[in-house]
Amino acid sequence: MKRISLTQYLVEEQRLHNTIPAELRLLIEVVARACKTISHSVGKGALGEVLGTAETENVQGEVQKKLDIISNEILLEANEWGGHLAAMASEEMESIHPIPNRYPKGEYMLLFDPLDGSSNIDVNVSIGTIFSVLKAPEGMGEPTEADFMQAGSKQVAAGYAVYGPQTMLVLTTGHGVNCFTLDREMGSWVLTQRDMQIPAKTKEFAINMSNMRHWHPPVKRYVEELLAGDTGPRGTNFNMRWIASMVADVHRILNRGGIFMYPADLRDTSMPGKLRLMYEANPMAFIVEQAGGAATDGKQRILDIEPHKLHQRVPVFLGSRDEVAVVTGYHQG
């Protein structure tokens, strides 16, 4: 097999589609390098003293794990001096992080969930990093939160790294989705899957069933019909998987199809769902659509949502497009 590195792939893409100018390529390479560093930390586990809880809470009121903080710092540090960014924003930081004046600035803005699936860190189950790249608005002065308030359809790149049995990087720049596997001996990302496609049909769903009693009627109806199997209205049996790391659940869906759901529920109406639009829903929706799948909040396409705050949460239904259409349809009636 001819080995194609991440850099070779990005250069080739620029030649073919003219969508990855050198600045963006360098930015993606820096993010990929940071993910490699995070992967090393994750892999050390107890030996690197990276497991367990820190003494702090993040802006969402969630207790931070040591690896949440370590990963956030790795991404900040790697990207600060590259010269490609105007500002960054992270799930783990209350406000945006403009590039300090001592460094050169660029025209992109980077958003990330530095460590996704935090509840799985200490039990050695797959976790990941999710990132999204936006263009800084034309003529932008000192960056503010308002500059980040762009719909997901404006993303110029999005991706995730999954730290599992293998470390992989899945990337889209708007021309399909490709997957790179980290060659741990060589330290390089090697293209291992081109043009990933999510089958339109599936018999596998992913949802945290323990919340069922709190769901709104459309979600309840949809899942009850799946659970009814071949004796119910769907006339077929469905299987369920829930890893509790969005990255790992989405990675499975990219490989063999499925529908992933994290709905809003009746418990706290001020919190529309758990997942964050800017760091989780938007980048994953971009990737899923680029792989032929669909992503909605039950009512509209996630990529069309106009954000109003950095840490905004949204309901998420994504994956195989026929199933996303069914559950989205149940929300219309």
Ligand X SMILES: O=P(O)(O)OC[C@H]1O[C@](O)(COP(=O)(O)O)[C@@H](O)[C@@H]1O
Annotated ligand binding at 116? The verdict is: yes
Measured between alpha carbons, how far is 20 from 237 in angstroms, rounded to an integer?
43
Coil, helix or strand for 301?
strand
In whole angstroms, the minimum distance from the beta carbon of 235 to Mg ion comes to 35
Cβ contacts of 237 within 8 Å, gap of 6 or more: 203, 229, 230
Tell whether residue 283 is a contact of ligand X (CB under 6 A).
Answer: no
Residue numbers 284-323 binding ligand X by CB under 6 A? none
Residue 45 known to bind ligand: no
Binding residue per annotation — 94?
no
**113 touches Mg ion by CB under 5 A:** yes
* Size of the chain, expressed as the number of residues it contains: 333
Strand 239-240 relative to strand 294-296: parallel, antiparallel, unpaired? unpaired
Alpha helices in the chain (DSSP H): 6-17, 22-44, 66-80, 145-148, 217-227, 246-256, 282-290, 321-332
Instruction: Out of 72, 79, 129, 245, name the contact with ligand X by CB under 6 A.
Output: 245
Q: Whose Cβ is closer to Mg ion: residue 93's or residue 149's?
A: 93
Do 292 and 200 meet the contact criterion of CB atoms below 8 Å apart?
yes
Asked if residue 178 belongs to a known ligand binding site, the reply is: no
Q: How many CB atoms lie within 10 A of CB 15?
A: 8
One of 113, 147, 289, 323 touching ligand X (CB under 6 A):
113
With contact defined as beta carbons under 8 Å apart, do 35 and 159 qualify? no
Beta bridge partners, 180, equal 169, 191
* 13, 116, 297, 323: residue in contact with ligand X (rule CB under 6 A): 116
178 binds ligand X, rule: CB under 6 A: no
Is the CB of 8 or the CB of 208 nearer to ligand X? 208
Query: Closest separation between CB of residue 245 and Mg ion, Å?
Result: 8
Size of the site for ligand X (CB under 6 A): 12
Residues that bind ligand X (CB under 6 A): 91, 113, 116-119, 208, 244-246, 262, 274
Residues that bind Mg ion (CB under 5 A): 91, 113, 115-116
Binding-site positions for Mg(2+) read 91, 113, 115-116, 280
Binding-site positions read 91, 113, 115-119, 208, 274, 280
